Structure formats: C-alpha cells, structure tokens
Chain A
C-alpha cells in the first residue's frame, strides 16, 4: 500500500507570491491533517480535514487555507508569502478522527526568498 504522497518535495518562492501544496493520503484514509515545522517553533498544527470538511484549525493567519476533495486528497494554499513562511510542511493521514495513528508524508520544503 502506497504511503502518504506530498508534492512537490521542494519549492522556492518569492515574497508576495502564493503557493499550493498537495497531499495524497493512504488509500482508505479519510482524514488529512497539515503541520508546519520550523526549527524555532517545532511542529505546529495547521488544519484537519475529514470528509471534505475542515474539522479543526490551528492558530495561523487567514493567508493559510486548505481543502479536501471527495477522493480525500488535500491541498493547502498560502497566499502573499512572507519570509517567515519558510518551513517544512507535513501532511498526515489517518483512517478517520479521532484516530491519532497518523501516517506522515516526507513533507514539502518551502523556501521563501
């Protein structure tokens, strides 16, 4: 069974641009959550989706948004990029909440210049 797939693996953007990251969960998993990881702040929760509905949201500005499709694939979007948005963005899937046995992808490393 294929694992969680995140694309792209690396991304370089400039300030002010927007970016869309993609996550394909493990087949049969209906819950997807997103995390931002930086050296200073560690792993910070962004959102959690289940059955195309946002179930929870972390303490991030409105520039960070996400969605989940009917096939459980998810995307997150960051608009008006700032230097501080440079981070590893991790996606995790699980069968359904509240199941905390998460399977993580390898992440998308975003660099904002």
Chain B
C-alpha cells in the first residue's frame, strides 16, 4: 500500500544536520507530502508538510525535488531529543484515498 520509501535507519552526530530522504515517485500533482515523527511510546507528532515549494518551520525544513518524486527532511542541528522514528506520508489513491504510514526511518542521534 505504501507510496513512500525511506531508509530503515540513520545515525547523526549531535549538533549536526540530519537529512532524512523519502522517495514518493508515484505522487500525484495535488498530493502533499507530510512528515511525522514518533518518539517511543507516544503518538506520532506532525513536523512539516509541503506540495512543491521548500518549506521551513521552527522544527525542520522540507526540500522537495522539482519533479516531486522525492523529498528530504532536514533537522538543522540535531539533538539527542530528536532520536525518533520519522515517517514520510502521502495519501494513497489521491484525496479520497487512504492515508498510509510507511515503515519510517529510525534516526539515532549520537553524542
């Protein structure tokens, strides 16, 4: 079902930028890309979303390629508290379809 592909795990040094990639090659023109993260034992938390332009908020930046087939979530200065599972999601089947979370990327921030 999943329309997104992410690496299963990544490491990042504390204080460095964490760049998490996501492939969504079958995304439709009007489908947004959303990013969430889940810290152990908590519900997922919204991070950021975008359609075609790059986006930035207080948590992260989202870079979407011009062809919209992939995107990268950037945590500019990763801290130990950013250790979590990061999910990139789109709606499968257009705006009337199902919202599916893939397996996500486990980001381990190391001191």
Given contacts A42-B104, A43-B87, contact A48 B43 (CB under 8 A): no
Interface stretch of the complex, out of A13-21, A67-75, A100-108: A100-108
Contacts of A100 in B (CB 8 A): 32, 34, 49, 89, 91, 99
Residue on A nearest B97 in the bound complex, by CB: A56
Q: B42, A45: Cβ atoms under 8 Å?
A: no
Q: B91, A104: Cβ atoms under 8 Å?
A: no
Q: Mark B94-106, 1 if CB is under 8 A from A, else 0.
A: 0111111111100
The range of chain B's interface size is 20 to 34
Give the dominant DSSP class at A's interface: strand
Given contacts A43-B44, A90-B43, A107-B43, contact A56 B98 (CB under 8 A): yes
Instruction: Name B residues whose Cβ lies closer than 8 Å to a Cβ of A.
Output: 1, 32, 34, 36, 38, 42-46, 49, 87, 89, 91, 95-104
Instruction: Other than A33-B99, A43-B44, give 9 A-B pairs with Cβ distance below 8 A.
Output: A42-B104, A43-B104, A90-B43, A97-B95, A101-B46, A101-B49, A103-B46, A106-B42, A107-B43
